[in-house]
Amino acid sequence: MQVGSSSSVESVRQQVQAVWEDVLRYFELRREGQSGLSTGVDWLDAQGEPLPSYTPITGELLGTVNQPTPEQVEEVVSRAKEAFNVWRMIPAPKRGQLVREIADEVRRHKEQLARLVTLEMGKIIEEARGEVQEWIDMCDFAVGLSRQLYGLTMASEREHHRLYEQWHPLGVVAVITAFNFPVAVWSWNAMIALVCGDTVVWKPSSVTPFCALAVQQIVARVLRRWSLPEGVVNVVAGTSGAIGSVLVDSKDVPLVSFTGSISAGRKVAERVAARLGRTILELGGNNAAIVTPSANLDLALRAVVFAAVGTAGQRCTTLRRLILHESIYDTFVERLIKVYRQLRIGNPLEEGVHVGPLVGGEAVQTFLTAQEQLRAEGGRLLYGGEVLEGYPSRLYVRPAIGYAPAVCPITCEETFAPLLYVFRYREIEEAIALNNGVPQGLSSAIFSTDLREVELFLSAKGSDCGIANVNTGTSGAEIGGAFGGEKDTGGGREAGSDAWKAYMRRQTVTINWGESLPLAQGIRFDV
Ligand code: NAD
């Protein structure tokens, strides 16, 4: 069934059921009719349609979550708004303490949460552990930040005047997330928003509701120890139409942080802009890596494989376009195919597997259609691309490598699957033009030991992406930096650096501590 493994389809099914039951018990969640609505500690009676959740590992139904109705989501927003009045007045370092306690809890539940991520989303267990670790890292970062929400003091041009800026909490932050990081993306937003004094309403992907509910259970353990009003940390699990649109259109939500596809992000951005709200947009990528003749090819090869097939090609930072210098093209492609042949594809719960299933049938179809389109546009498949037989679901595919003669329509699209296009280049300027020649602008990388090439890639006329890496792959960003991309990727920044500023409102303050009233720009206005 699985390359390098003797486990049968039936034993995988049994393992999935056993892990699922264990996880449900552990997080005290119900298999059927679990509420998808909480404003803190308890589950509320969600009265909307049940939402099914499936595991890509076997394609079987895991359970159902009751969605809140749109009216209930409106109530949650009101409660979050009221809770904001309390939460914003708690000193930021004390808010940090709550986040520190959350970190302690997550550390305790890391393995069980990782197993749930693998079950519901399908990523390999090692990457699922990494995802939960990202939440822990975000907590640690946010705790430090809670003592560093600094404003600047500026020199006033007027005598006896003080000019400075301060940062205040913003309000209710809606966090709408994608399926592929069912825990981490929320944490990039929520941990920062909480120390900034905001309350958070989370609409997770409708594909991964149980992950969000387990997260809420972990947070609830901490909230129980604090006497806060309900409404500081909220979850409303459900679909985009029933739930997402309420958050997008609510005047009581000053910031919508949206992670997802470009097409959905565009709609969300337009609607939030129409009510003059704020968005943070983290949308699709179409990331490229350039491998130059001076590169350490062993290192580049390892980085390329992880970035291209990690999370079965379902990361926003997945490497989708490999730009190889003509002098190393043949050798590199040959070596790449050799490594692809050794990939272990199979049950993502099993240690040592490299590639798990795709998230659903639609993703498989998109993968196959993109290959057809590549052929129709003059490219060809060099390796892989088929749906694998004899696996526990029809969601296991062989990662593919395709040759593209030039930038063509299909290589300008993000196909959310393990399909890597290779290109050939002669001059470094040509490689950079290929890197930049797509609508998206998330992540990019160059493999080179030539200082001039590296600096060109990093210069103002180099990569136009939000992330530019040297001698490391396009995926796997650390939380310390601000994460996000340009162009159709949406321009938002999350996680580290000064990304926190988007979650607060800036106030510029002028204090006249003198006895006269000098006006700025030397204006005289005597009455
Ligand atoms: P998706 O766009 O289908 O859904 C994302 C979320 O948006 C879901 O919660 C969905 O229910 C909600 N949604 C969709 N339309 C909506 C609307 N009109 N109003 C309100 N909510 C709406 O994306 P997906 O398939 O879950 O995730 C894959 C995509 O996400 C890829 O394009 C990937 O690149 C992108 N992504 C980007 C980042 C990043 O940081 N840039 C990170 C992860 C994923």
Residue-averaged pLDDT of the chain:
97
Please report the pLDDT score of residue 3 as a whole number. Answer: 44
Whether the per-residue pLDDT at 494 is higher than 90: the answer is yes
Task: Map out the domains of the chain as residue ranges.
Answer: 35-283+493-505, 287-481
Residue 266 near ligand 1, beta carbon < 6 Å:
no
The Cα 97–Cα 110 span in angstroms is 20
| CATH number, domain 287-481 | 3.40.309.10
Residue nearest to atom 39 of ligand 1 (CA): 282
Note the pLDDT of residue 4.
Answer: 43
DSSP-derived secondary structure for 79-124: HHHHHHHHHTTS-HHHHHHHHHHHHHHHHHHHHHHHHHHHHHH---
Rounded to the nearest whole angstrom, what is the distance from the C-alpha of residue 265 to the centroid of ligand 1?
A: 7
Quick one: pLDDT at residue 420?
98
Residue recorded with tokens 């129709």? 376
- The pLDDT tens digits of the residues spanning 438-450 come to 999 999 999 999 9
The amino acid at residue 525 is: F
Q: CA dist 297 to 43, 175, 447, Å?
A: 53, 40, 8
∠ CA 444-259-402, nearest 5°, is: 40
How is residue 222 written in tokens?
């901490």
* Fold match, 35-283+493-505 / 287-481: no
Which atom of ligand 1 is closest in space to residue 317's alpha carbon?
Answer: 34
Question: How does pLDDT run across 233-283, given as a tens digit for each residue?
Answer: 999 999 988 799 999 999 999 999 999 999 999 999 999 999 999 999 999
pLDDT digits (tens, 9 = 90+) for 409-439: 999 999 999 999 999 999 999 999 999 999 9
pLDDT value of position 1: 47
271 lines ligand 1 (CB under 6 A): no
Give per-residue pLDDT as tens, 210-227.
999 999 999 999 999 999
Retrieve residue 337's tokens.
């195919």
CATH number of 35-283+493-505: 3.40.605.10
Question: In this predicted structure, what is the pLDDT of residue 179?
Answer: 98
Is the overall model pTM greater than 0.75, yes or no?
yes
Predicted local confidence at residue 240, as pLDDT: 83
Q: Which of 77, 131, 176, 236 to mutate to test the pocket of ligand 1 (most atoms within 8 A of CB)?
A: 176
Which residue numbers are catalytic?
282, 316
Contact 425 CB / ligand 1 (< 6 Å)? no
Is the pLDDT confidence value at 363 over 80?
A: yes
The end-to-end CA distance of the chain, in Å, is 90
pLDDT over 90 at 58, yes or no: yes
